Amino acid sequence: MAPGPHEIELKLRLPRGEVATLLRHPVVRALKRGRARTESLSSTYFDTDDWRLAREGIAVRIRRAGRRWIQTVKGAATSEAGGGLAARAEHEWTLPATDRTPPLDLAAVGATPFGKRIARAAGKDGFGARCATEFRRTTIPLAFPDRTTALLCIDVGAVRGPPPKRARAALCEVEIELEAGDPLRLFELALALLADLPLAVEPRSKAERGRALATGMAPRPALAQDVLLPEGSDAAGAIGAIVRNCLRQVEANADGLLADDDPEWIHQMRVGVRRLRSCLALARRHVPPAVLGHLDGDLRWLAGTLGPARDLDVFTQETLPAMRDATRHTAAGASAFEHALAPLENHARTQLAAARRDARDAVASKRFNRLLLAGGAFAATPRLGAAEGSAEAAALAEPATAFAARVLARRHRKLAKGVARLAEMTPGERHRTRILAKRLRYATEFFAPLFPGRRTRAYRKALAGLQAVLGGLNDAAVAAVLAAELGDPASPGAAMFAGWAAAQGEGAAKALDRARRAFADADPFWK
């Protein structure tokens, strides 16, 4: 954990009508270590007109609790965040009692790591109150058998935008905040509650929800981010950080996928799932199968649900337009193309609508939220569950750099062996080589922060180029298979796709050779 005051809490959404059921839940009653208390809280969040602090991951608020005023500054998410867990630096001060919201104590803020940035923002004319929250909080103190203590907080109220419109969004969420001890207990409690209640992971803070309400800004799909590996971490710590990084990408795309038809939401969640599966492959040989539990199966299920929607998105929005462009040079060609492909396109769009519904049903399900929480629990498990004193635990205790070098070397050897004979490969063999390239690319992305420098960047660029060419060929092959499945395999449309896929392979020969040579010339950066 990073030095300084920190907040670690697990955030979940809950339908308002289920609050009473949660309060009566037998697990909550068994862990309760004191009387519950309920109070009204109201918070005001401050930022510049252009939300400069929020864009840097900083939140500044003043909260009223009864007659007390509390000023809080929070930082961006740390490497401990993911799988529903929010982890960030947090600094709080009590302000003088007053009838109105007191001014910020900038002197106190200046002593935090964010002091200079907040001071610069506060010096602008546009700095001021941007959004607010008002809610009733019920707090239940909890004590676990291993002496871990936590607070179960149930917040019911609203997030409000700035005047004059004062847009409002209902709020009902559960926070399980760690006071002392092991964060794994938070996940265990959340999974126990999820078994009986319609809970969902809440990846956004109240400040983030307030900003979205105040600006009306549509959220954007979450792309993969570089992993923040703790300095001097061992293999287990690095794998845990990578798992949480992948979970953040998956959970951050859930709400957008449920509400929006932009295909990028499904694409980015699928990338997150693939990255997570690739990371678990690094750990699988070192942990007992029971530790992963349902996680492996749930990931395969989610990948299988997202895959058809993604393939059909590519087919309808990328492959078909590319083929249209290729036939526009002659009116006869374009006319023949449209006549042959119209039935396939109509069927594809019908199938795409069904595949998107399936993806949404999956992401809205209890199983999806179990996946997120189980992933977070796995990452929080000491030594990832390897038995103390075992050879597996010893391997996970070695420095992350040594572990990474061995993994990267092994995956590099497998890919290099296949790349040497790319020109003579069948489409199926090229597909398997593409998978090897993708696994190696994910591993380089995961561990690149351990090996900063020019060689790392050059290797990643060469590998990305190779994967891009192989990926394009795979998209063409998938399109041909889809075309045959969407209609009669002997139809003119399916025949056109088969011919187009073959032409793509022939046309990519030079690009494939260039990518192969660039990868062969790239120096492994981990040596």
Of 183, 366, 377, 185, the C-alpha closest to 292 is 377
Of 72-76, 220-224, 438-442, 497-501, the poorest mean pLDDT is in 497-501
Asked if the structure places residue 224 within a domain, the reply is no
- The CATH number assigned to the domain holding 41 equals 2.40.320.10
Q: Do 332 and 453 fall into the same domain? A: no
Asked if the structure places residue 284 within a domain, the reply is yes
What pLDDT shows up at residue 4? 64
SS3 199: coil
What pLDDT shows up at residue 384? 94
Q: Is the pLDDT of residue 181 over 60?
A: yes
What pLDDT shows up at residue 71? 96
Q: Is the pLDDT of residue 467 over 50?
A: yes
Q: Do 359 and 414 fall into the same domain? A: no
Contact criterion met (CB below 8 Å) for 375 and 280: no
Q: Do 251 and 362 fall into the same domain? A: yes
DSSP 524: P
Asked if the structure places residue 346 within a domain, the reply is yes
If you average pLDDT over residues 22-41, what whole number do you get?
A: 96
Q: Do 133 and 178 fall into the same domain? A: yes
If you average pLDDT over residues 100-106, what whole number do you get?
A: 89
Q: Do 213 and 260 fall into the same domain? A: no
Q: Is the pLDDT of residue 230 over 80?
A: no
If you average pLDDT over residues 228-233, what whole number do you get?
A: 84
If you average pLDDT over residues 153-182, what whole number do you get?
A: 93
What pLDDT shows up at residue 2? 45
What pLDDT shows up at residue 329? 61
Question: What is the share, in percent, of the chain residues with pLDDT greater than 70?
Answer: 97
Last residue of a domain, one of 398, 415, 447: 398
Q: Name beta bridge partners: 13.
A: 173, 200
Q: CB neighbours of 110 closer than 8 A, spacing ≥ 6?
A: 116, 118, 119
- Of 267-276, 310-319, 494-503, the range with the highest mean pLDDT is 267-276
Within the chain, what is the greatest distance between any pair of CA atoms? Answer: 81
If you average pLDDT over residues 89-103, what whole number do you get?
A: 91
- The CATH number assigned to the domain holding 507 equals 1.40.20.10
Comparing 485 with 14, the larger pLDDT belongs to: 14
Of 223, 140, 204, 148, the C-alpha closest to 180 is 148
Asked if the structure places residue 1 within a domain, the reply is no
Q: Tell me the pLDDT of the chain averaged across its residues.
A: 91
Q: What is the pLDDT of residues 363-412, one digit of tens each?
A: 999 999 999 999 999 999 999 999 999 999 999 999 999 999 999 999 99
Q: Looking at the 3D structure of the chain, how many domains does it have?
A: 3
Of 17-26, 237-246, 330-339, the poorest mean pLDDT is in 330-339
Our CA angle for 204, 208, 213, nearest 5°, is 115
Last residue of a domain, one of 217, 248, 279: 217
Q: How far apart are CA 247 and CA 251, in angstroms?
A: 6
- Of 18-22, 420-424, 475-479, the range with the highest mean pLDDT is 18-22
Q: Do 281 and 188 fall into the same domain? A: no
Q: Is the pLDDT of residue 331 over 70?
A: no
What pLDDT shows up at residue 358? 98
What pLDDT shows up at residue 195? 97
If you average pLDDT over residues 222-251, what whole number do you get?
A: 93
If you average pLDDT over residues 468-478, what whole number do you get?
A: 82
Q: Do 517 and 497 fall into the same domain? A: yes
pTM value?
Answer: 0.92
- Please provide the DSSP assignment of 58-123 as one string: -EEEEEEETTEEEEEEEEEE-TT-BTTEEEEEEEEEEEPP-SSPPPP-HHHHTTSTTHHHHHHHHT
If you average pLDDT over residues 490-516, what whole number do you get?
A: 76
Q: Name beta bridge partners: 90.
A: 74
Last residue of a domain, one of 217, 251, 277: 217
Confidence of residue 33 (pLDDT cuts 50, 70, 90): very high
What pLDDT shows up at residue 160? 95
DSSP 423: G
Q: Do 387 and 245 fall into the same domain? A: yes
Asked if the structure places residue 170 within a domain, the reply is yes
* Token pair for 94: 């009590």
Q: Do 96 and 122 fall into the same domain? A: yes
Q: What is the pLDDT of residues 414-466, one digit of tens each?
A: 999 888 887 778 878 888 898 999 999 999 999 999 998 999 999 999 999 99
If you average pLDDT over residues 76-100, what whole number do you get?
A: 92
SS3 488: coil
Q: Do 194 and 99 fall into the same domain? A: yes
Asked if the structure places residue 107 within a domain, the reply is yes
Q: Rounded to whole angstroms, what are the CA distances from 99 to 61, 129, 202, 231, 442?
A: 17, 17, 33, 46, 55
Asked if the structure places residue 222 within a domain, the reply is no
Asked if the structure places residue 166 within a domain, the reply is yes
Of 59-63, 312-316, 384-388, 477-481, the poorest mean pLDDT is in 477-481
Q: Is the pLDDT of residue 341 over 90?
A: no
Q: Rounded to whole angstroms, what are the CA distances from 338 to 62, 317, 489?
A: 61, 15, 17
Confidence of residue 346 (pLDDT cuts 50, 70, 90): confident
Q: Do 263 and 392 fall into the same domain? A: yes
Confidence of residue 1 (pLDDT cuts 50, 70, 90): very low
Q: Do 434 and 346 fall into the same domain? A: no
Q: CB neighbours of 254 closer than 8 A, spacing ≥ 6?
A: 201, 203, 269, 363, 368
Comparing 306 with 473, the larger pLDDT belongs to: 306
The residue segments making up the domain with residue 384 are: 229-398
